[in-house]
A and B are shown apart, each in its own frame.
Chain A
Amino acid sequence: MPSPVPAYAPDAAGRLAALSDVTASDRALRRFLHGLPGVDAVGLEARAAGLGTRSIKTTAKAYAIDLAISMIDLTTLEGADTPGKVRALCAKGIQPDPTDRTTPKVAAICVYPDMVATAKEALGDSGIHVASVATAFPAGRTALPVKLADTADAVAAGADEIDMVIDRGAFLSGRYLEVFEEIRAVKQACVRADKSVAHLKVIFENGELATYDNIRRCSWLAMLAGADFIKTSTGKVAVNATPPNTLLMLEAVRDFRATVGVQVGVKPAGGIRTSKDAIKYLVMVNETLGDDWLSPDWFRFGASSLLNDLLMQRQKLSTGRYSGPDYVTVD
């Protein structure tokens, strides 16, 4: 195995092409996906729970909190979003804690496509990416041309990253190749006029895929189709990111790199609200994937309220006092 390359690197396409036989037809793809090892739900959940008992204290906690802040895709995805709201969120992302300039900035601001330009402008040269959901987020229930136009529009407006949703209906009815082709088409739509490419995160909506076997199959399907990141959920349904379903995706990117030589990132989203939760996820990354994934390039949190809890914990570590919601900014 040659040394691994990032999914967004030019060589990645060649490595994926080497597996073109498994994606040559619906039947071949189904055979491949159904041939992946099964997932024992009880064992998976026990492992995730076991990692959740790690006790992260003092210096380790300080490290983890700063790392977590730097991995946040600070998100607002509401019908009520306004340019003012988005600008405020961008300001927060650049300088999360106005009382402490050593606080790291977040990884990205995640918005709907029509807010991309506003966010781009507000973020300026801060280095923070603009991520845009697309493809008729969150349900994905429109025709492909609409999804592609949605994507192209966000990219044209300056989005650095696209968070697409898969067609869960197609996946659940076994039309895997259709899902595969759709991801590939969206990836094409991520190419900018100058041939540079917006990074593509593929959202599975694990809560709707329902079984762990489906989540593993979907992980491989999305990675084969060229996903730069695989993402658990939209945050809009009852079950979002959970430690076990994220652990399963971490195992999938680990195995994918080992067999294909392409490294893909993971983004749990929805329901991660406390520092304690975030640290549990970082422990999972640490013990499943190690250093190679412990950076915002390879692991993200899709979250909104998580940031303030991390900031309060950070203040607690630096001052020794418990902080309160009046000492972090509300945006």
Chain B
Amino acid sequence: MAFEYAPAPESRSVVDLAPSYGLFIDGEFTDAADGTVFKSVSPSTEEVLAEVARAGEADVDRAVKAARKAFTSWSALPGAERGKYLFRIARIVQERSRELAVLESLDNGKPIRETRDVDLPLVAAHFFYYAGWADKLSYAGYGPDPKPLGVAGQVIPWNFPLLMLAWKIAPALAAGNTVVLKPAETTPLSALFFADVCRQAGLPRGVVNILPGYGDAGAALVAHEGVDKVAFTGSTEVGKAIARTVAGTDKKVTLELGGKAANIVFDDAPIDQAVEGIVNGIFFNQGHVCCAGSRLLVQESVQDEVLDALKRRMATLRVGDPLDKNTDIGAINSPEQLARITALAEAGEAEGAQRWAPACELPSAGYWFAPTLFTGVTQAHRIAREEIFGPVLSVLTFRTPAEAVEKANNTPYGLSAGIWTEKGSRILSMANKLKAGVVWANTFNKFDPTSPFGGYKESGYGREGGRHGLEGYLDV
């Protein structure tokens, strides 16, 4: 190409990383009770970013007790005062958003373009939105004086570390709960920086506790008898285990789990925008998105046109250094995830689907997977049924709207769906029939703090965002 973009790296120096980080309990950083630590690695370079204390059962107990203690005064604060703390957090996140965006790209591997333009603005907006609810709970439709639940145990995934933290913490605090949050083991750093945001905001100690750790810490948190509310975002498998753990207790639970969304393109769709929506639907955040449009259902009459345009567009995707401002697709978050994507892609080939990827050079260090699409996929293929959670698109076709609905719904998941057509009545009819918690029409992967998000069926229960998102944190 004649017009080659020179490297445009975002500066790493805006983030001041310490060599090691502790657990954040009761307003202070501390070591784990048993002293164990783990390393957080940059998935794009395999470089160790920092050493982080690894929470165990004793630490969970300590954090839940701190949260319990803080709950008394926090829940007794007038809503307006709680709200002002959250507004402060929102503003500080806005102020520090460049630093946090770079940190997130380092620790997660996602492109700076996304952390800068999507993750961080949404994080601040989420806190801003729920800040406003803190003194308006009586208007939310849950009775004249709804009460908080108590201590919320929250476990979040690695795909949107800070955004998922915001989705969990903002409504919890607004409603008057206190929080113990466990970030994912591959992406603990932004949550620990968030602890510093809480310090700057003057948040009372114990209201937010952050426990970096592995699945064992998450399981201990979910099972802890001092936890009144469990909120989890992650795999369906773990979600089911959590549902079993809390059976028979009084714990309120919300689960936001996997998905296998159908992105349905009709022959009267605005094709250029549909192609952008398909690309955004599956390649946004390397496809590490539970609501990713991982199944493209395209009407047979426009199949060739759409696929040609899609391939042409995929050839322009820029894969590489997450800190380069021109990178579209960053690194896969971990070697484990890369292995899973690779295995499923191989299964796709073995089962007879045709694999295609644009020519693209992948860096030698780090974990990478080229944007890939499979054609000739049928409902029976594993790549049409299992969540790949990577930049891999399975293309299926349909002939009639009824067939599209049938195929789209033919999955245990039900998180999201996309519809592309210029015909308004068809959009609404399809939306009525799709069993999915979020339906995007002529757009995809749109998020807003005012808009409820969550799934049908094995994609989980409960909604996050909007007025609906308060319900999971109120005793109603």
Contacts and interface: CB of A to CB of B under 8 A. Distances in A.
Contacts of B271: 37
B229 to A, nearest CB: 37
Contacts of A60: 3-6
B216 interface: no
A105 to B, nearest CB: 19
Interface string B349-383: 00000000000000000000000000000000000
B401 interface: no
B5 A54 contact: yes
Interface in B59-113: 113
Interface string A9-47: 000000000000000000000000000011110111011
Q: How large is the interface on A (under 10, 10 to 19, 20 to 34, 35 or more residues)?
A: 20 to 34
B325 A39 contact: no
Interface in B430-452: 442-443
A87 interface: no
Interface stretch (A112-120, A167-175, A282-290, A306-314): A282-290
Main secondary structure of the interface of B (DSSP, over half): loop
B419 interface: no
B1 A61 contact: no
Most buried by A among B5, B268, B326, B442: B5
B443 A42 contact: yes
B422 interface: yes
Contacts of B316: 287
A37 B8 contact: no
B118 to A, nearest CB: 11
B272 A39 contact: yes
A59 B273 contact: no
B269 A37 contact: yes
A125 interface: no
A195 to B, nearest CB: 34
B272 A57 contact: no
Most buried by A among B2, B3, B269, B325: B3
Interface string B317-352: 000000001100000000000000000000000000
Nearest to A36: B271
B278 to A, nearest CB: 11
Given A53-B113, A53-B325, A54-B326, A43 B3 contact: no
Contacts of A251: 272
Nearest to A37: B271
A126 interface: no
Interface of B: 1-8, 113, 117, 268-273, 276-277, 316, 325-326, 422, 442-443
Given A64-B3, A282-B3, 8 more contacts: A39-B272, A47-B272, A55-B8, A58-B6, A59-B6, A291-B1, A294-B2, A294-B3
